[in-house]
């Protein structure tokens, strides 16, 4: 008798092979049979008509703080994710010297919009080195598996102290950073991460490492390469534009496995194709070069409960921004207040903030069912032109929906043609993997942890404004492709001998609900969540962790160590 048998499912095994009807037997934490299972199971699941897939592997999550207090790691675990990688984009919480914890919290709060109060209250700081950080995390049983990368900003803060933001460092300091990288990889880090984008700032300015010299970056990359496992992960503004980082060619030549965030940009809308071609050429000649692609436009959610909306910097609104939601809704329903508001402009010198607040052609009603591929005509500007109104008036109507609890959608990237064709082209490329879901980050503005679900609901099932992606490709991208990229070859496929991480999905009734705001972080911190229907069962290491979206309380997950 087997421990668990899943019968008659529509098996999409994560390899890209065609869907087939099959049974799956699980014994202990391993898959033992995929095919016809004649023996009974102590527990049996009838999956007739449902998809059976590997558990999702999400490699860009920023759970570095939340992992300290949350065993369930929602929202990712609610969307069928069974393995996550954190420590992305150069920010994180190890290594850290005693007394320097607040600086790392300020960086994470600024870059990833995670409430600093929640991080101060929720993290217990029982470590100094990266290895000690992993040791501390191992003490908590978890719903899913967690792996991490060494963050550049934390390394610089550890070595340079108050000089963490300075560009110039000594050879001895570079050697120290390289040694910390070697030690972290030996302890089980899945790589090293850094940021090179103007979007990542804190109250101290651009995050440490943004303009590090080639000597520093190359020394660290050599440590990653020489470890024999792990990736060098970064985010940059330049890829494919002709202004690429001055150290990138060196990384390619030295054979350091590398992954980075790739998107279509408004100034260089064709640059992503150059980057894709480069990734294929480099991977064929040297080590893997893996672009990470957001599976829908990175969606800023503007609302009266979120961190930003078009009127948040207007003087008359700023005077009331700390009022209750009910009070602010009442103000926006007052014609006199609205007249005053519309006569004003955002009170800010930040050109990017001003652009976000006035890009009416890139603001859309999110709606229910949620629409992440809206037409240009459905933008605030498009509706205003049709109805002979100001776009600001359209936006106020949207902000007031559901008594001020609704959200608008404003794409930050990958939506410059008002459709998903650039995203589809990137996702269909053999070198790419999904990334940038940021499940533990951007708590007050972005809610993209539902990327894995969206791959099925939108790309494999519902898309109307262009070609779909096959269900086999949609599953492969977020199982074997992501797992293999980070060297986790024990998972991501429904094959005998692989880890028994499995989703059973009622694909016909898989449904994403609109995002909503909750205040369940430590110290009452807020975050956006997005509920989903249709995950009948999620199984982690052979144990059922969710049934019909409800957690069973079982905690078979733990901390992963790369190279072990």
In a domain, 219, yes or no: yes
163 within domain boundaries: yes
Q: What is the CATH number of the domain that holds 223?
A: 3.20.20.140
Give CA–CA dist 532/550, Å, rounded: 11
> What is the rounded CA–CA span in Å between residue 233 and residue 343?
45
User: Into how many domains does the chain fold?
Assistant: 3
530 and 387 part of one domain: no
Nearest-angstrom CA–CA distance, 5 and 24 = 6
Identify the pLDDT of residue 83: 98
Encode burial over 164-196: b for 16+ CB neighbours within 10 A, e otherwise.
Answer: bbeeebeeebbebbbebbbbbbbbbbbbbbbbb
Q: Which of 237, 291, 235, 263 is nearest to 414 (CA)?
A: 263
Residues 485, 505, 62: CA angle, nearest 5 degrees? 40
Do both 375 and 422 map to the same domain?
Answer: no
| Distance, CA of 149 to CA of 181 (rounded, Å) | 10
pLDDT tens, position by position, 396-425: 999 999 999 999 999 977 788 899 999 999
Supply the CATH number for residue 539's domain. Answer: 2.30.40.10
Report if residue 562 sits inside a domain: no
Instruction: Tell me if 237 is assigned to some domain.
Output: yes
- C-alpha–C-alpha distance, residues 401 and 305, integer Å: 12
Integer CA distances (angstroms), 353 to 185, 304, 530, in order? 38, 16, 26
* Residues of the chain with confidence (pLDDT) below 50: none
Q: Is 424 found in the same domain as 281?
A: yes
CA distance 309 to 212: 34
Model pLDDT, residue 242: 66
Specify the pLDDT at position 248.
86
The answer to whether residues 148 and 60 belong to one domain is no
Helices (H) and strands (E) in the chain, counts: 18, 27
Over 481-532, what HEC string results?
HHHHHCCCCCCCCCCCCCECCEEEECHHHCEECCCEEECCCHHHCCEEECCE
Nearest in space to 11 (alpha carbons), one of 57, 50, 56, 43: 50
- Residues 162 and 275 occupy one common structural domain: yes
Q: For residue 559, is it within any domain?
A: no
What is residue 352's predicted lDDT score, i.e. its pLDDT? 84
Of all residues in the chain, the percent with pLDDT exceeding 70 is 99
| Residue whose tokens read 């072990």 | 564
Instruction: Identify whether residues 190 and 259 lie together within a single domain.
Output: yes
Question: What torsion, rounded to 10 degrees, do the Cα atoms 318, 320, 325, 327 define?
Answer: -150
Q: Is residue 560 part of a domain?
A: no
Report the 10 Å Cβ neighbour count for 406.
22
Domain assignment present for residue 360? The answer is yes
CA 278, chain centre distance (Å): 24
pLDDT digits (tens, 9 = 90+) for 141-180: 999 999 999 999 999 999 999 999 998 899 999 999 999 9
Q: Is the peptide bond before 544 cis (omega within 30 degrees of 0)?
A: no
Q: Which residues of 51-76 are buried (b: 16+ CB within 10 A; e: fewer)?
A: bbbbbbbbbbbbbbbbbbebebbbbb
Please check whether residue 32 is in contact with residue 2, taking contact to mean a CB–CB distance below 8 angstroms: yes
The angle that helices 101-112 and 152-160 make with each other, rounded to 10 degrees, is 150
Give dist(CA 309, CA 313) in Å, integer. Answer: 8
Measure the CA angle with vertex 76, ends 73 and 79; round to 5°: 135
User: Domain range for residue 256?
Assistant: 78-299+415-437
Q: For residues 110 and 220, state if they share a domain.
A: yes
CA atoms within 13 A on the CB side of 205: 9
**229 near 189, Cβ under 8 Å?**
no
366 lies in the same domain as 478: no
- 277 vs 246, 263, 283, 291, CA distance in Å? 19, 14, 10, 11
Nearest CA to 166 out of 197, 209, 104, 111 is that of 209
User: What is residue 167's predicted lDDT score, i.e. its pLDDT?
Assistant: 87
Whether 419 and 290 map to the same domain: the answer is yes
Q: Are 147 and 196 part of one and the same domain? A: yes
CA distance 502 to 536: 11
Query: How far apart, in whole angstroms, are the C-alpha atoms of residue 396 and residue 416?
Result: 24
Residues 251 and 261 in one domain: yes
DSSP character string of 529-542: E--EE-EEEEEETT
Global pTM? 0.96
Dihedral class, residue 213 (left if φ above 0, else alpha if ψ from -120 to 50, else beta) = beta
What count of residues does the chain have?
Answer: 564
558 within some domain: no
DSSP bridge pairs for 50: none
Q: Are residues 384 and 481 in the same domain?
A: no
**Segment 10-40, tens digit of pLDDT:** 999 999 999 999 999 999 999 999 999 999 9
């Amino acid at each position: 008798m087997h421990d668990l048998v899943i019968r008659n499912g529509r098996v999409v095994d994560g390899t890209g092979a065609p869907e087939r009807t099959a049974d799956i037997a699980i014994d202990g934490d391993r898959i033992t049979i995929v095919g016809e299972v004649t023996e009974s199971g102590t527990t049996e699941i009838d999956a007739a008509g449902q998809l059976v897939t590997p558990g999702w592997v999400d490699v860009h999550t920023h759970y570095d703080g939340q992992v300290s207090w949350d065993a369930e790691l929602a929202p990712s675990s609610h969307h069928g994710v069974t393995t996550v990688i954190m420590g992305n984009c150069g920010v994180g919480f190890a290594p850290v010297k005693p007394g320097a914890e607040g600086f790392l919290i300020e960086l994470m709060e600024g870059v990833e919009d995670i409430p600093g109060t929640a991080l101060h209250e929720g993290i217990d700081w029982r470590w100094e080195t990266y290895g000690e950080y992993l040791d501390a995390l191992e003490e908590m049983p978890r719903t899913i598996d967690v792996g991490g990368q060494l963050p550049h900003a934390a390394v610089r803060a550890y070595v340079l102290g108050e000089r963490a933001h300075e560009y110039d460092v000594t050879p001895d300091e570079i050697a120290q950073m390289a040694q910390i990288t070697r030690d972290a990889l030996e302890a089980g880090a899945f790589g090293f991460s850094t940021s090179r984008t103007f979007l990542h700032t804190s109250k101290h300015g651009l995050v440490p490492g943004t303009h590090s010299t080639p000597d520093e970056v190359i020394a660290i990359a050599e440590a990653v390469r020489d470890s024999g496992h792990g990736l060098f992960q970064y985010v940059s503004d330049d890829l494919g534009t002709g202004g690429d980082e001055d150290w990138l060619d060196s990384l390619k030549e030295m054979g350091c496995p590398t992954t980075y965030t790739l998107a279509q940009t408004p100034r260089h809308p064709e640059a992503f194709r150059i980057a894709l071609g480069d990734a294929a050429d480099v991977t064929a000649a040297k080590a893997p070069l893996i672009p990470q692609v957001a599976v829908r436009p990175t969606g800023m959610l503007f609302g009266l409960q979120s961190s930003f909306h078009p009127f948040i910097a207007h003087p008359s609104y700023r005077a009331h921004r700390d009022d209750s939601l009910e009070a602010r809704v009442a103000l926006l329903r007052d014609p006199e207040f609205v007249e005053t508001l519309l006569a004003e402009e955002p009170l800010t010198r930040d050109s990017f903030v001003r652009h976000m607040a006035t890009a009416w052609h890139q603001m859309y009603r999110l709606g229910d069912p949620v629409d992440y591929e809206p037409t240009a005509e459905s933008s605030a500007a498009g509706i205003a032109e049709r109805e002979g109104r100001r776009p600001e008036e359209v936006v106020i109507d949207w902000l007031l929906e559901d008594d001020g609890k609704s959200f608008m959608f404003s794409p930050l990237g990958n939506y410059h043609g008002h459709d998903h064709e650039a995203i589809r082209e990137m996702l269909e490329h053999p070198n790419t993997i999904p990334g940038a879901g940021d499940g533990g980050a951007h708590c007050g503005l972005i809610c993209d942890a539902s990327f894995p679900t969206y791959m099925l609901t939108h790309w494999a099932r519902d898309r109307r404004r262009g070609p779909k992606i096959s269900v086999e490709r949609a599953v492969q991208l977020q199982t074997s492709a992501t797992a293999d990229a980070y060297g986790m070859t024990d998972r991501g496929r429904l094959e005998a001998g692989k880890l028994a991480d499995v989703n059973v999905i009622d694909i016909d009734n898989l449904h994403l609900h609109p995002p909503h705001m909750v205040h369940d972080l430590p110290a009452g911190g807020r975050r956006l969540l997005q509920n989903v229907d249709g995950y009948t069962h999620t199984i982690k290491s052979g144990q059922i962790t969710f049934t019909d979206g409800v957690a069973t309380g079982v905690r078979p997950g733990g901390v992963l160590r790369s190279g072990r």
